[in-house]
Structure 1
Amino acid sequence: MSRSLVTSIMMLSLLIPSACAASASSPQVASPSSATAAVATDNEYTLAPGDKVRVIVFGEETLTGEYVITSGGNLSFPLVGNMKVTDKTVEQVQVALAAALADGYVNNPRVNIQVISFRPFYILGEVNRPGEYPVSTGLTLQQAVASAGGYTYRANLKRAYLKRANDTEEKLLIVKSSGPVIIRAGDTIRIGERHF
């Protein structure tokens, strides 16, 4: 065996254990947990009463315009009438509206929908500016608090209370262990006082 080959083998045998130790000590990339998957699903904004949308039907100027989702959860659209859109994503409504228009009204309709104004969320309690704020896709609890001017000095930083738009009661959130909590349109957040 040549001297250079022996030297190479010895160097390699020294490097392998240190590489293994480094990989053992470095943080592993975990597969997405169910909590992360739930957050990703939560990022899908669904329409509901109070949302304002702009509907563009390419080549059909008379149909293009701004529409407000009615209190019944409908999009009242010319030719088609009332379409139920509550709890549907913008993409789902685009497909449904294009299909409805293609059914004897418009040849090969191309529809684009944009949300112009989102329903707000509400934040109460120990924040500097409690009130109503516009929601955005993927808005977290921490971002919601930041938009309200941050916590007051009396705020309990470990707990928050969240009432979803369709719930009757608020739920306690343990902030550190809950992971990222996505705030949806119509939600009410309450930040309580800490006990001194």
Structure 2
Amino acid sequence: MFLKLLLGVLALLVAACSTVAPGPAMPADAAVQQAADGDYRLGSADKVRITVFGEPTLTGEFVVGPAGDLSLPLIGSVAASGLTTMEVGQAIQLKLASGYLRDPQVSIDVLTYRPFYILGEVNQPGEYPFSARLTVINAVATAKGFTYRANQGRVFIKSAGSQVEREVPLTSDLLVQPGDTLRFGERYF
């Protein structure tokens, strides 16, 4: 009896010490994944948290302005539009190191992405906040659906920073990116 109890306890201990391999990662939205990888390029209306380690008065939340810059205490304006968070962090470090701090350590996190815009044949066209995994269909729902005249099979998308509008077939997995402008035209019949 004692031997069975001992073997049972040992089996539980071995099972408790074993590990399970992690499952496949969930696919992430391109913009969110780019931000995690450091490839996301900041743009006007992005909100970031800048942390200057050991300097709470220089740490805070900032919005990229319409001119594409961040206005920071002590060092003033820093260009941000079109740059990654790492590039902006390096620029801030350089400015802080030139006469303000010795060996500043800066980190930047994107808190909220710039909005997307939806125009044309939707019930409430306008500017809406971007969220991760936002599909074009969800964006239409956010804009209170299509009008009765809408061509529901195609969408025109102009990406942030681009002057080219591309026509794309509307599918359920088509993702919106921060700063995108979505336009829905009229159907002809």
TM-score computed with the length of structure 2 as normaliser: 0.64
CA deviation after TM superposition for structure 1 residue 88, in Å = 1.8
Unaligned runs of 5+ in 1: 1-35
Determine if contact 1:127/1:150 at 8 Å carries over to the other structure. yes
CA deviation after TM superposition for structure 1 residue 104, in Å = 4.6
Give the 3 Å change call, closer, same or farther, for CA 87–154 of structure 1 in structure 2: same
Determine if contact 2:49/2:61 at 8 Å carries over to the other structure. yes
Residue equivalent to 2:149: 154
Q: Which has the higher helix share?
A: 1
Q: How many residues are aligned here?
A: 157
Determine if contact 2:47/2:112 at 8 Å carries over to the other structure. yes
Give the 3 Å change call, closer, same or farther, for CA 81–184 of structure 1 in structure 2: same
Matches for 1:180-191 after TM superposition, within 5 Å = 180-185=174-179, 187-191=180-184
Provide the C-alpha distance between the structure 1 equivalents of 2:139 and 2:31, rounded to a whole number of angstroms.
19
Residue equivalent to 1:140: 135
Residue equivalent to 1:195: 188
Provide the C-alpha distance between the structure 1 equivalents of 2:122 and 2:112, rounded to a whole number of angstroms.
24
Deviates more, 1:125-134 or 1:72-81: 72-81
Matches for 1:1-196 after TM superposition, within 5 Å = 40=30, 44=34, 45-176=40-171, 180-185=174-179, 187-196=180-189
Identity %: 47
CA deviation after TM superposition for structure 1 residue 157, in Å = 2.0
Provide the C-alpha distance between the structure 1 equivalents of 2:185 and 2:63, rounded to a whole number of angstroms.
35
Give the 3 Å change call, closer, same or farther, for CA 91–144 of structure 1 in structure 2: farther
Determine if contact 2:135/2:173 at 8 Å carries over to the other structure. no
Provide the C-alpha distance between the structure 2 equivalents of 1:140 and 1:72, rounded to a whole number of angstroms.
29
Which residue identity is paired with 1:192? Answer: G
Deviates more, 1:152-161 or 1:136-145: 136-145
Tell me the secondary structure at the aligned position of residue 139 of structure 2.
Answer: helix
Unaligned runs of 5+ in 2: 1-26, 35-39
Provide the C-alpha distance between the structure 1 equivalents of 2:30 and 2:158, rounded to a whole number of angstroms.
20
Which residue identity is paired with 1:165? Answer: A
Determine if contact 1:49/1:69 at 8 Å carries over to the other structure. yes
Give the 3 Å change call, closer, same or farther, for CA 58–42 of structure 1 in structure 2: closer
CA deviation after TM superposition for structure 1 residue 160, in Å = 0.9
1:74-124 per-position Cα deviation (integer Å, ceiling 9, x unaligned): 223334343221112334323442354345533443323334443322112
Structure with greater Cα Rg: 1
Residue equivalent to 1:9: none
Which residue identity is paired with 1:47? Answer: L
